[in-house]
Amino acid sequence: MARGVVRGLGIVLLLAGVGLLGWVGWQYFGTGITSNRTMDQLERELRDEWRAETTIKEPAAGTPFTLVRIPKFGAEWVKPVVEGVGKGELARGIGHYPQTQLPGVPGNFAIAGHRVTHGSPFRKLLELRKGDQVVVETADAIYTYELDTSPRDLTVKPSDTWVLDPVPGKPQETPTKSLITLTTCEDLFHSPDRSIAFGHLINLEKKR
């Protein structure tokens, strides 16, 4: 009887191990496949919408409204930005912190993305350095930002919301420039800490 119990326990542990491996595999590979497909689809839909629309709409929660390009990551690197930074939004692309500004206006346009899982749009973010560019395209304009800091230079806790201030770290100051803040996990594996990069607008190209 004892042998049967041990054997049964071994089977249970084996199945649990297989299940855990399957879950890890899905998190690190499966979600990437589905999220990359979703991001490609959102990019196409957004471009189609831009061609069809004559008026500029305010972004609704969970919907794409902007495309981001980071030239250092290659000419083909283009990701949609959706409104919101919840789990659902970040599974669909890069997310925009709703309490921060939109691109091109005085204040802080702050965005977040995963380094692992769900397409890993910011997987290589820590490779960026001061002076690298981030290009943000909307329905009516293309905004080019230049980084003032590298994501490797600053790590914060999730509670450090000052990075989202209109002028980061200066809550009493009225913004006069268009700024950008990029946020992502510090480590490739789960970490509560966030790596942060700041930048400022250097060029505006109107599309309409």
Sequence spans of domains, the chain: 2-206
pLDDT on residue 168: 97
CA–CA separation, 133 and 208 (whole Å): 23
Catalytic residues: 114, 185
Phi, psi at 6, each rounded to 5°: -60, -45
> Do residues 108 and 175 make contact, with C-beta atoms less than 8 angstroms apart?
yes
Q: What is the pLDDT of residues 38-72, one digit of tens each?
A: 667 878 889 888 888 756 678 889 999 999 999 99
Q: What is the pLDDT of residues 2-19, one digit of tens each?
A: 555 555 555 544 444 444
Q: What is the pLDDT of residues 63-89, one digit of tens each?
A: 999 999 999 999 999 999 999 999 888
Query: Looking at the whole model, is its pTM more than 0.95?
Result: no
CATH 2.40.260.10 fits 2-206, yes or no: yes
